[in-house]
Amino acid sequence: MRAALFSRFGGPEVLRIADLPDPHPGPGEVRIAVRAAGVNPSDWKKRKGLMDTGLPQTMGHEAAGIVDELGDGVTDVAVGDRVFGFSAEGAAQAELAVLAHYAPMPPSLDFAGAAALPAAIETATRALDQLGVGSGSTLLISGASGSVGSAAVQLAVARGARVIGTASPVNHDYLRSMGAEPVVYGQGLVERVRALAPDGVDLALDVAGSGVLPELIELAGGPEHVVTLADFAGAQDCGVTFSRGDAGRAVHALAGIGELIESGRFSLPVAQTFPLAEVAAAHRVSEDGRVRGKLVLLVG
């Protein structure tokens, strides 16, 4: 099968499409003929050597496609079913991928739309679970207009929370459309949030990693009410929880998202698609950091 990989660390130019042996599912896993695979910031961070040190490395953690092989003990899907989920080996940007966690595709989505979901909804759900966001909570989300931020907004609203989200003014109508109250990020954030919530907020989630943890702690009444997804050093300095997948992933989000999508309470736009062969171009756009919505590779 053809797959995206790199054999040395560096810029997008180190990426190539190579022939690799076909993978096969283990117990409880399924293999899919990949139709679409999501692109995430973790991909270019891996490529630059900021995460894993081994070489060569394959690419991609999320995909959607058609089941073509079942592992032992799999009874909840059949060959030919359309599913989306997480790659078992971080090798979703390929013609074939083994999924360790998966769910049926929501009927209203195409493959690109389904491939955009897993990482964003798992990350957002994990953070909301860690914060204990529920009905009646007032949640501040810093960096609310990106894929993870917008997923967190909609999932929190679905839980019955009031959401205040930071974004640039051009994205304020987008936040309102998802049920959030927008504020501009940057200097003066505390005052702008207090204009909407005079007593501060119950909880705060940092998606952007833009150095705002002290302000979030002030607004939420203490570091125990704040979670960051993007500021590891700041979390250590401020005593804030840094949410990471190796501490336990919220894979239950896969099974629950279909109902929200089909009822019109959740959507995650696909900003741009690329053929698998143009994975380097997708990395350049992702690394630029100005995308609203998901980048997706189309396969086959």
Helix (H) or strand (E) segment spanning residue 85: strand 82-87
Q: How far apart are CA 159 and CA 20, in angstroms?
A: 43
Against a cut of 0.75, is the pTM above it? yes
Q: Are 155 and 170 spatial neighbours (Cβ–Cβ below 8 Å)?
A: no
- Looking at residue 248, its pLDDT comes to 72
**pLDDT, tens digit (0-9, with 9 covering 90-100), for 215-225:** 999 999 999 99
Structural domains in the chain, sorted by start: 2-117+268-298 (3.90.180.10), 121-246 (3.40.50.720)
**pLDDT, tens digit (0-9, with 9 covering 90-100), for 129-164:** 999 999 999 999 999 998 999 999 999 999 999 999
Quickly count: other Cβ atoms within 10 Å of residue 262's Cβ: 13
Mean pLDDT of the chain: 95
**pLDDT, tens digit (0-9, with 9 covering 90-100), for 44-90:** 989 999 888 889 999 999 999 999 999 999 999 999 999 999 998 89
Residue 39: both structure tokens together: 């692109």
**pLDDT, tens digit (0-9, with 9 covering 90-100), for 200-241:** 999 999 999 889 999 999 999 999 999 999 999 999 999 999
Helix (H) or strand (E) segment spanning residue 190: helix 189-196
Contact residues for 222 (Cβ-Cβ < 8 A; gap 6+): none
Q: How far apart are CA 220 and CA 161, in angstroms?
A: 15
Q: Three-state DSSP class for 296?
A: strand
